[in-house]
Structure 1
């Protein structure tokens, strides 16, 4: 395991992401920060935890007995259109040593991970792409997005609303660790694209300071019956310059209903002795904008793709979700070089109580690339844009419109944390 970790950039203090401003980073400086190489003790602790984790599936490449590449999948449940959850293999912690790149080792690891995921009954793979040019050749394509937005406190006025029957409370990390699973469970049940958190997801919450960033603060909302229905983690980082002083950074905020959502934001956007509110990793269709007297006050300052999707088993993946508009669609796939069973014409029938997707000898209504179908899976991408870009070729009148209507979801898919 120590050799496995040393093949990964993060364990060696090397960049594991492009050193750019990221939409899930609330600060003004480039992300990620420089890391210190992991010590022997840290590697041992990581190995002890990972080998006990049944959801963690590591894989490595060895050349002459030396580990030169590593990756892993994590077994998740993800909420799909219709509110059900589907099994998903989350690809993570991927790297090939600089001395052994461009030799096909990453492709061989990907193939082995896809095969293993299919054996476990996981018809879908997802990842966060460190570079946009790497993972498309394996069939992955953007499926969800994240934004970073900010607003000036003096512009942040909420529209009038009924009085809040609940209460807000600043709590410590111990209380936050208890509150987060309760709120997140409700969020997962209703938000397409959200991941079901693994055990221990919030164990690291602490009241200790993090360098000059200061400690995380925790704000909860309880309804009139005393039940927690919203929570936010935020920071008040110190800055050596006046340009970045007085910023309140919201690292995460979730609520189970509009009343709690409005109450949490109402306090955070009018926090004493602050000038600017920054929120990172937020949905593109943040409802807060429509609660402001001046919707322009909320300015999106960064945006990036978040999770990339890849269908491993097309019929199983398509039948575990539902479709907003009933219909029948025949489509052909012919470009999947890694899961070749997907290459044929399929008949998707969502016109009854049960969704089916079976092979057919009928003429297809359209031909679609595997990556385009993967992007459309959660319902947040445009079928017309993908067709315009050449990823979908219609063979029947109205085929693109039918595809768009069937796969679209409202609201846009989003997931709140990475892996």
Structure 2
């Protein structure tokens, strides 16, 4: 076990890195952050900010020299950096899990190899693939579909809607990517996520499922307890556990699921880290997903994930700042709302600037509070 007083490291200093640092420091661990952005949110709370590229040799060696273990804030850190650190100190989760998660084609294939259902998809690696992509194994790939870059796509970025096969060639050219996947658009009944933590000894704990509502490709609300049939939640937990076991995973893992209009459970994607839909756990659970990230990294026993109160998390996007600073007094008049601002200096449309957790005896009442707030702010849906 790595005990308090030892220094931990993290690659990535965004809001997830910031929340990891706060959890670690509360538990008595100094933290070093590697991030090329001098104004990254984690820099304000870290013990040491290495302002350098993620693959900078000197910065990586500094982490290896001063940290007892290292984790990553997000999956798109260079694989070479993680392999370099893995040879010197514990890195959790390992580079292999990150490599699978940062490539959509590899990730979808990995799910299917485990016997998990996904939306029908085809991989496009060259222009010639576009003409044959509508043939998915022995059956045509159903349209409408979504064309997605295999790398660096998040919050709706790197995607194109493709209504018919005739639109595919133009969509492929507009993405300007060496590889993409074409995925059938599923008629959705619900979306939800399962977040688990897995320890070095293989023990797993699960957080309550979060029902997720997106707007323009970005997560808007997470509702807990999820209004998803318990049988589907149980099936999803088994699927997430299968993924974590196959990867010999150590850390916090989020897996997103679709429920089709016919009630079929489909795996969408995984995030080898804490997840936006798990931010509710900071205020509404005995231990947050960031507490678990610290514990798993340090080889400590995992903590209680019990839900203390129903909760709805709402993201605060940069759109709210278009007319100036939001009216925080109006928000803070609601006693059941917990405000989390990330300290980002530039507010841009679609950029996650913070979130609020609304706690209430019933999730529907929490939803009502947030809808009132949205109306007061004249925030369009």
- Structure 2 length normalisation: TM-score? 0.26
- Structure 1 length normalisation: TM-score? 0.24
Higher Rg: 1
Higher relative contact order (CA 8 A, sep 6+): 1
